[in-house]
Each structure stands twice: as C-alpha cells, then as structure tokens.
Amino acid sequence: MDIMGLLIFLAIGAVAGWLAGKILKGGGFGLWGNMLIGVIGAVIGGWVFGLLGLNMDGLIGSIITATIGAILLLYIIGFFKKSA
C-alpha cells in the first residue's frame, strides 16, 4: 500500500467512525478515535460482508462497509460495558 492508499484508508476510517458514533451515540470520538474505530470497523465489516457473500466496491461501498463494521464494534463494546 502506498502513502496515498494509506491516507484514503485513514480518511474512510475517520468518516466511518464519525458516522457510527453519530448513529449509535449521538456524537463522535475525536479524529483519532474516529479513525481507530473506523479502521477496525472496516476490517470487521469486510469480514462480515465476506461471510455473507456481499461485496461493496468503490468509495461509497468502502464507507458503508466500514461504517457497518464500526457500528457492530461499538455495539459489542457497549454490550460488554453495560454487563461489566
């Protein structure tokens, strides 16, 4: 992955983390928090979509995949946080 690909990946992660925060919590987590949640969400979303046989191409598809993965991540974190 070249530097431009890495920057695009981080930007998608930041947008996905922000969107997931807005959808589930009503707010974001700051730039670095959004990026971290979005990047981990992209991995989770790609894995889940792969299991389901779905494939999202392009920039919008990447944002949707990462956002859904980030929502799943935040939901799982919230579930364990409430039970602890």
Is 46 among the domain residues?
Answer: yes
As a whole number of angstroms, the longest Cα–Cα distance in the chain is: 42
Nearest residue to 78 (alpha-carbon basis) of 21, 36, 39: 21
Flag whether pLDDT at 55 surpasses 70. Answer: yes
Residue at 37 is within a domain: yes
Rounded to the nearest integer, the mean pLDDT of the chain is 91
Average pLDDT (32-36) is: 91
| CA geometry: angle 73, 59, 53, nearest 5 deg | 60
pLDDT tops 70 at residue 36: yes
pLDDT given for residue 6 in this prediction: 92
Q: What is residue 78's predicted lDDT score, i.e. its pLDDT?
A: 84
- Taking residues 56-72, what's their average pLDDT? 95
* Residue range of the domain that includes 68: 8-78
Cα–Cα distances in Å, from 38 out to 13, 21, 27, 45? 4, 10, 14, 10
Residue 36 falls inside a structural domain: yes
Whether 2 is covered by a domain: the verdict is no
DSSP 26: S
Residue labelled with tokens 């981080």: 10
Q: Is the pLDDT of residue 46 over 90?
A: yes
Number of domains comprising the chain: 1
35 in any annotated domain: yes
Question: Residue 81: its pLDDT value, please?
Answer: 79
